[in-house]
Structure 1
Amino acid sequence: MKMVFRWFGEGNDTITLDQVRQIPGVEGIVWALHDVPAGDEWPIEKIMEVKAAADRAGLHLKVVESVNIHEDIKLGLPSRDTYIDNYKKTIAKLAQVGVKVICYNFMPVFDWLRTDLHKETDDGSTALFYEKSKIENIDPFELVKQINENSTLTMPGWEPERLQYLTGLFEAYRGVTEEDLWENVKYFLDEIIPVAAEHDIRMAIHPDDPPWPIFGLPRIITSRDNIRRFLQLYDSPYNGITLCSGSLGANPGNDIIAMIHEFAGRIPFAHIRNVRVFENGDFIETSHRTQDGTVDIAGIVGAYHENNYEGFCRPDHGRHIWNEQCRPGYGLFDRALGIMYLWGLWDAYSRSARMERKVNER
C-alpha cells in the first residue's frame, strides 16, 4: 500500500507540501489542474509547475484526481470526439511527469452531493452531511448557491460557473437513461484505454457519490454488480476503479470487503474513509476509526492486506477539528489522523502475518 495525500495546489489549499511530507508514510500527492475547464487539454507549463513544487518537497505526483470528463462525452454528443482527443493529449503529457493513475468519474452534472458542509457533531467537530429528505425537496440551483456561499475555496464539482449552465445541463439530460450512460462510457473507454495503456497509465473510475440517482439524473457506478459490468466493458488492467469506501458505504447494502477481494487486481487507487448511515437514509462523514461509523474500515484494510495490495491509497474526507480553517472535508488534522489509523491497521496485519508464518515454519 502506497500512501498519498490529496492537495489542491498553491494558493488553492490551506495545507502546504512541507506539512504533507511530515505525515509518516506519505510518498506523494494526489493533484489536478483545478483551474482548467473540463474538456480542455492540460497545458504542459502548468503541469510542470506542479511537478516542480512536488519535487521541492520530495513527493511524487503519480496520481491525478481528476482529469474531468466533459458533459458532452457523458451525453454522447457529436462534439465528444473533440473533448476525447484533448483527453488523449493530456494523458500523453501526464506520462511525461511520471503519472501512473488517473482518477475520474462519470457522474452527470454533479461530482458529489452533500446538504451541509459543516454539520456539527456531538464532540464539537463538523463534517460533511447528507440529509435525504432535503435532497428530495430542494431546488438544485439553491443547493449550488449554498455550497459556493459556504466555501472560500473552489470546490471541485461545484464551481460557481456551473450555476449559469445548470438549466441547460438538466435539459440536456432529460430522457437520458442509465443504459444511455453505459453506452457513452463504453465509447469513452474504447477511445481512451488504448492510449492509457500505451503510456502505462491506469484509468480508475470513481464510484458515484452518493451511489444512487439524484434530481432525476442517472448514475451507474453504484454497486458490485455495476462495477463488474463496468470492468467487463473493456477488460484490461488499464481500465480500473478508484474504490471509495465512503461513497459506496453510503449504501449499507454494498459489501465493500467482497468488492476488494473480487476486484483487487483492478483497483490502482483506493479511497478509505468512514461514514455513519442513519435509518432514514441520512449519512455523515466520521473519523476513519471503524467504531465511529458504519463502514468496516478494519475489515477493508484487512482485505487489502490479504490481497497484497500495492496500489495507491489516500485517506478521504476528514472532519474539521481543532478549529482548523480549511476546505470542507479536506483539512490537514483529521486526514493525518486517518493515515495513522490506516497505517496502524496495516502494520498490525503485517505483524500478525509474520507471526503466523513463523508458527507454520516450526
Structure 2
Amino acid sequence: MRESWRWYGPFDKIELTEIAQTGASGIVTALHEIPYGEVWPVETIEARKATIAADAGLGLHWNVVESLPVHEAIKKGEGDLAPLFANYRQSMANLAACGIRTICYNFMPLIDWTRTRLDAPAGRGGTALRFEAAEMAAFELFMLKRGEAEADYSGDVRRKAEIWFQASSEADRAVLLSSIMAGLPGAYERYDVDGLRTALAGYDGIGRAELRANYARFLAEVVPAAEELGMWLCVHPDDPPRDILGLPRIVSSEEDIAWILSKQDARANGLTLCSGSLGANPANDVPAIARRFAERIHFAHLRNVRKDADGSFEEAAHLEGDTDMVALAAALLAEERRRRAEGRTDAEIPFRPDHGHELLSDIGRGTHPGYPLIGRMRGLAELRGVIRALEHSGVSLEAVR
C-alpha cells in the first residue's frame, strides 16, 4: 500500500519537508484556488507537481487528486450543464496528460464533512473532532430554525438540544456555526446562518431519488471519459453517513455503493474507501464492505471513530475505535495480492491517515481542522505497523475476519 498524505498546497501550514519526515511519499492534494466548475489548466497542474517534486531528496510526488469538485449545479441538476460536464472532462484529460490518474471526489450536497466540535478533549491530552447530536439539533432547531428538523432527532436529543441552546452564549453559537462550516476543503466560502438557509432553499424539492438521478447523469457524462483516459474516479462516502440539514445523502451505505458502481459498471467508476465516514453508521461493517467492493477500491482514507447510541461520534485513535483496522488492512492487502497475480502494474492502493488528533506541538498551530501533523503521523505509524506485520506474517484475509 502506498503511504500518502493530504496537503493543502499553499494554504497548508505543514511544509513538504515535514511531510517527508513522516515517511509518506505520495501527496494527495488539489488546486483549491480554482473555482468549482472551471478547467484545471495543464500549466497550473504542472506547476503544483513541480513544487511537490522540487527537492528530489524528499521523494515526494503528487499521486491522488482530492478533490476535483463537482459543481453544485450538477448535484441539483439545474440549468445547462453541458459546459460543466465538458470542463470536468477537460480537467480529467489535463490531469492525465500530467501523469495524475486517481481522482477522489464526493457528491455530498452543499456541505462536505460535518462536525460540531473541532477541539473535543481526547484521552490523555490532545483534541479530536466530534459530532454531537444534541449540538447539531440545537443548530438546526434553534439557530437555523428548520422546522422539519424536529422529525430527524429523538425526543431525548431534542431536549438536550434545548438545554444546550438556552445555556449557550452568542460566542458559543458562533463557535458551533464555525465548526459546522469547517468541513469545506477548498471551498473557502463560509455561510452565516442566513446564507446557509438561502443555500439550503436551493435544494427544495430535491430528495433521494432526484439526487440519485443527478448523480447517475454525472457518472454517465464522466466515467466513459475516465475509462478512455485510463483514470480512476473514486467517490468518497458521505460524512456523516446520514441525511443532514434536510439534505439527502446517497453515498452512506453498502447498498448505496452497490448502486453507484452498477450505474457505470466500469473499473474507472470506483470507491474511496473511507473507514471513518462509513464507520460512523452503525449498520456498516467496514471490513465487509471493503471485501465486497475490493476490486473497485482505488484509494483509501484510514481513520477510526467511536460511536454513541444517540448518533454522536468522535474521531478515535486509528487503532482504538469501533472499526477493526487490522481486518480492514488485511482486506486491502488481499486485494493488492489479487491484482499482482493478474499481472497488474497498478496493484498498489494509495492510502492516507485521515483526521488525526491534535497532539503535542499540533496544539495552537492552526492547521486545517482534522489535519494536524503529529496526530496524523501517529496514525500513519500505527497503520504502517499493522500493514508490515500482516505482510511479514502472510496472514490471510480469512484469518482476521
Residue 227 (structure 2) pairs with residue 197 (structure 1): yes
1:349 pairs with one of 390, 394, 399 = 390
Return closer, same or farther for 1:189/1:165 CA change in 2, 3 Å cut-off.
farther
- How far the C-alpha of 1:44 sits from its partner, in A, is 2.9
**Aligned equivalent of 1:215:** 245
Return closer, same or farther for 1:119/1:157 CA change in 2, 3 Å cut-off.
farther
Distance 1:99 1:88 in 2: 14
- How far the C-alpha of 1:43 sits from its partner, in A, is 3.0
Helix, strand or coil at the partner of 1:270:
strand
**Aligned equivalent of 2:31:** 33
Return closer, same or farther for 1:161/1:273 CA change in 2, 3 Å cut-off.
closer
Helix, strand or coil at the partner of 1:342:
helix
Residue 281 (structure 2) pairs with residue 248 (structure 1): no
**Aligned equivalent of 2:82:** 81
State the AA in 1 paired with 2:329. Answer: V
Return closer, same or farther for 1:319/1:158 CA change in 2, 3 Å cut-off.
farther
Distance 2:123 2:36 in 1: 39
Distance 2:69 2:199 in 1: 16
Residue 20 (structure 2) pairs with residue 21 (structure 1): yes
Return closer, same or farther for 1:165/1:144 CA change in 2, 3 Å cut-off.
farther
Residue 195 (structure 2) pairs with residue 179 (structure 1): no
1:53 pairs with one of 51, 54, 57 = 51
- How far the C-alpha of 1:64 sits from its partner, in A, is 0.2
**Aligned equivalent of 2:130:** 129
Return closer, same or farther for 1:154/1:36 CA change in 2, 3 Å cut-off.
farther
The number of equivalent residue pairs is 350
1:111-154 CA-partner distances (Å, limit 9, x unpaired):
11000111112312101100012212214769996478579x99
2:372 pairs with one of 323, 331, 342 = 331
Helix, strand or coil at the partner of 1:313:
strand
Identity of aligned residues (%): 39
Helix, strand or coil at the partner of 1:138:
helix
Tell me if structure 1 keeps the 8 A contact 2:85–2:221. Answer: yes
Tell me if structure 2 keeps the 8 A contact 1:117–1:147. Answer: no
Residue 349 (structure 2) pairs with residue 308 (structure 1): no
Higher helix proportion (structure 1 or 2): 2
Helix, strand or coil at the partner of 2:258:
helix
Structure 2 stretches lacking a partner, 5+ long: 145-169, 338-347, 397-401
State the AA in 2 paired with 1:40. Answer: E
Tell me if structure 1 keeps the 8 A contact 2:32–2:187. Answer: no
Tell me if structure 2 keeps the 8 A contact 1:39–1:87. Answer: yes
1:317-337 CA-partner distances (Å, limit 9, x unpaired):
100000311221101111111
TM-score with structure 1 length normalisation?
A: 0.90
Distance 2:190 2:134 in 1: 27
Distance 2:66 2:121 in 1: 28
Return closer, same or farther for 1:147/1:280 CA change in 2, 3 Å cut-off.
closer
CA RMSD of aligned residues (A): 2.3
Distance 1:59 1:192 in 2: 29
- How far the C-alpha of 1:50 sits from its partner, in A, is 0.9
- How far the C-alpha of 1:306 sits from its partner, in A, is 2.4
Tell me if structure 1 keeps the 8 A contact 2:66–2:103. Answer: yes
State the AA in 2 paired with 1:294. Answer: D
- How far the C-alpha of 1:171 sits from its partner, in A, is 1.2
- How far the C-alpha of 1:280 sits from its partner, in A, is 2.1
**Aligned equivalent of 1:287:** 317
Return closer, same or farther for 1:155/1:178 CA change in 2, 3 Å cut-off.
closer
Return closer, same or farther for 1:155/1:216 CA change in 2, 3 Å cut-off.
closer
Distance 2:183 2:176 in 1: 10
Distance 1:43 1:262 in 2: 37
Tell me if structure 2 keeps the 8 A contact 1:110–1:158. Answer: no
Distance 2:265 2:111 in 1: 27
Helix, strand or coil at the partner of 1:258:
helix
**Aligned equivalent of 2:150:** none
Helix, strand or coil at the partner of 2:54:
helix
**Aligned equivalent of 1:360:** none
Residue 188 (structure 2) pairs with residue 159 (structure 1): yes
**Aligned equivalent of 1:276:** 306
Structure 1 stretches lacking a partner, 5+ long: 356-362
Helix, strand or coil at the partner of 2:293:
helix
Residue 360 (structure 2) pairs with residue 322 (structure 1): yes
Tell me if structure 2 keeps the 8 A contact 1:147–1:158. Answer: no
- How far the C-alpha of 1:276 sits from its partner, in A, is 0.8
- How far the C-alpha of 1:156 sits from its partner, in A, is 1.1
Distance 1:95 1:162 in 2: 34
Return closer, same or farther for 1:17/1:278 CA change in 2, 3 Å cut-off.
same
Helix, strand or coil at the partner of 1:52:
helix
Return closer, same or farther for 1:287/1:154 CA change in 2, 3 Å cut-off.
closer
- How far the C-alpha of 1:167 sits from its partner, in A, is 3.5
- How far the C-alpha of 1:194 sits from its partner, in A, is 1.3
Helix, strand or coil at the partner of 1:119:
strand
TM-score with structure 2 length normalisation?
A: 0.82
Distance 1:184 1:154 in 2: 23
**Aligned equivalent of 1:138:** 139
State the AA in 1 paired with 2:208. Answer: E
- How far the C-alpha of 1:311 sits from its partner, in A, is 1.4
Return closer, same or farther for 1:34/1:147 CA change in 2, 3 Å cut-off.
farther
**Aligned equivalent of 2:258:** 228
- How far the C-alpha of 1:348 sits from its partner, in A, is 0.9
Helix, strand or coil at the partner of 1:307:
helix
